[in-house]
Amino acid sequence: MATTSTMHPSAGPVVGSRSFFSRLRDGDEVARLITFLFAATVVLITLLIVFELWQGSVLPRHKFGFNFFRTSTWDPNVDQFGALPFIFGTLVTSAVALLIAVPLGIGAAIFLAELAPARLSDALEFFIDLLAAVPSVIYGVLGIFIVVPVMRDVIQPALKEIFGFLPIFRGPAFGIGLLTAGLVLSIMVIPYIISVSREVLLSVPRDQREAALALGATRWESTWKVVVPFARTGIMGSIFLALARALGETMAVTMVIGNTPQIAASLFSPGDSIASVIANQFTEATGDVYTQSLIELGLVLFLLTFILNGLARLLIVFTSQRGASHA
C-alpha cells in the first residue's frame, strides 16, 4: 500500500489516484489552477453585478423605501422618484406580448413537433433560430417605420370601431404606445417560446401518443389532451423564459412605447417601461438621487428576471426528466 503514492502513473490502475506531486510535475495542478481562476471570474462578475446594483441604489432605498414602488411622481427637479408608471408599463406591455405570443408560439411548436416531417421541422427551426438572433434595435426600426403607421391608420381605428366600448381600446390612435410596444415584444419573444416548447414536446414519450390514438382519439385530441398536458410544465417554463426576456427588453420598446411616464387605462396611450426609462435618462441624469433611482430600477429588473429565469429552468428540466424517465 505504501508504494502506491510513489508508483509511476502508467503503472496505476486508476488515473485519478496519482499523487499530488506527480500531477504537479505533469502540469495538471497548474492547469487546474489557471482554469479555476477563469471559472471563478464568472462567479465574481455575477456577484459584482449584484453588489454594484445594491451599492449603487443606497440613496433612493433609504429616502423612499417602499414608496418607490407605490408612488407615480417622477420629477428630477424636486428629487421625487416613484417607479409605479414604469412598473405598470413594463407589466402591461409584457402581458400584451404574452397574450399574442403564447398561442402563436405554442401553435407553431405543436406543428413543428407533432406534424411537420423531421426535415421540414429542422429547416423551420433554423429560421426560428435566426429570428431569435435579430437584434432588438432592428425590431425597433421596423416598429417605428412599419408597425407604428399600420397601427395608427388601420389596426387601432378598427379596434376602436369594434371594441370601443372597452376602456382599453379608447382614446386617440397615435400608433406609438403600450399596445404597439406589446405587439413588437410579442414578435421578439415568439422564437423563444417555439424553440423551447418544441424541444419539450419532442421529449414526450412516443407511447403516450400511441396510447391515445389506439383509444380512438383523433390526431388533434391526442396532441391537445395527452401530449400537451404531459409537456405542460415545460411549456410553462418556455413562457416564463419569454416573460423574462420581455421584461428586460429595452431598445425596441423604447422606440415605440412613447416614453411618457403615466398610468392610463387605454392601451393606445403612450407609456414607459423600466428598461426604457433607464435607456433614455441614464446619461442625462444629474444628481446622485436621480442616477441611483435609475440604478434601483435596474436592480428591480435584475431581481425580476432572476426569479423568472430560475423558475423557467426548473420547470423545463423537470419536464425533460419526466419524459426521459418515462421512455
Partner 1 sequence: MTKMNAQLRWRKFVSNFMLTMTGVCALISVSVLFFILGYLVYHGGASINWDFFTKLPAPVGESGGGMANAILGSAKLLLLATLIGVPIGFFGAVYLAEFSGSTVAFVVRYAADLLNGVPSIVIGIFAYSVAVHPFGHFSTYAGGFALGVMMIPITLRSTEEFLLGVPRSLREGAMALGASKWKTIATVIVPAAYRGILTAILLAFARVAGETAPLLFTALGNRYWSNGFNEPTASLPVMVYNYAISPFEDWHRQAWAAGLVLLGLILVINIIARAVLARGIAVPRS
Residue type, 36: F
To the nearest whole angstrom, how small is the minimum distance from the Cβ of residue 138 to partner 1?
Answer: 5
> Does 89 interact with partner 1 (rule: CB under 8 A)?
no
Task: List, in order, residues 6 or more apart from 281 with CB less than 8 Å away.
Answer: 290, 294
* CA max distance for the chain: 90
To the nearest whole angstrom, how small is the minimum distance from the Cβ of residue 185 to partner 1?
Answer: 13
To the nearest whole angstrom, how small is the minimum distance from the Cβ of residue 281 to partner 1?
Answer: 10
> Does 249 interact with partner 1 (rule: CB under 8 A)?
yes
Q: Which stretch binds partner 1 (CB under 8 A): 148-156, 201-209, 274-282, 319-327?
A: 274-282
To the nearest whole angstrom, how small is the minimum distance from the Cβ of residue 186 to partner 1?
Answer: 10
To the nearest whole angstrom, how small is the minimum distance from the Cβ of residue 260 to partner 1?
Answer: 15
> Does 248 interact with partner 1 (rule: CB under 8 A)?
yes
| Single residue of 19, 80, 260, 305 touching partner 1 by CB under 8 A | 305
Q: Which stretch binds partner 1 (CB under 8 A): 64-72, 171-179, 229-237, 246-254?
A: 246-254
> Does 199 interact with partner 1 (rule: CB under 8 A)?
no
Residue with cell 423564459: 241
Instruction: Give the DSSP H/E element, type plus range, for residue 74.
Output: strand 74-75
| Single residue of 244, 267, 315, 316 touching partner 1 by CB under 8 A | 244
> Does 260 interact with partner 1 (rule: CB under 8 A)?
no
> Does 278 interact with partner 1 (rule: CB under 8 A)?
yes
Mask for 201-220, x = binds partner 1 (CB under 8 A): -----------------xxx
> Does 175 interact with partner 1 (rule: CB under 8 A)?
no
Residue type, 126: F
Nearest CA-CA partner of 181 in 108, 274, 103 = 274
Residue type, 218: T
Q: Which is nearer to partner 1, 141 or 265 (CB)?
A: 141
* DSSP secondary structure letter of residue 167: G
Nearest CA-CA partner of 240 in 317, 165, 177, 172 = 317
Number of neighbouring beta carbons within 10 Å of residue 180:
30
Q: Tell me, by CB under 8 A, how many residues bind partner 1.
A: 91
**Backbone dihedral angles phi then psi of residue 216, each to the nearest 5 degrees:** 100, 10
| Single residue of 5, 17, 20, 115 touching partner 1 by CB under 8 A | 115
Number of neighbouring beta carbons within 10 Å of residue 44:
12
To the nearest whole angstrom, how small is the minimum distance from the Cβ of residue 322 to partner 1?
Answer: 21
Instruction: Give yes or no for a contact between 278 and 290, defined as CB atoms under 8 angstroms apart.
Output: no
> Does 200 interact with partner 1 (rule: CB under 8 A)?
no
Q: Which is nearer to partner 1, 129 or 207 (CB)?
A: 129
> Between residue 32 and residue 71, which ones bind partner 1 under the rule CB under 8 A?
32, 34-36, 38-43, 45-49, 52-53, 56
* DSSP per residue, 41-59: HHHHHHHHHHHHHHHTTHH
Mask for 139-158, x = binds partner 1 (CB under 8 A): xxxx-xxx------------
* DSSP secondary structure letter of residue 284: T
> Does 91 interact with partner 1 (rule: CB under 8 A)?
no
- Helix residue ranges, H only, the chain: 20-26, 28-55, 58-64, 67-70, 84-110, 118-133, 136-142, 148-150, 156-163, 178-202, 206-214, 219-222, 228-230, 232-248, 251-256, 274-281, 288-326
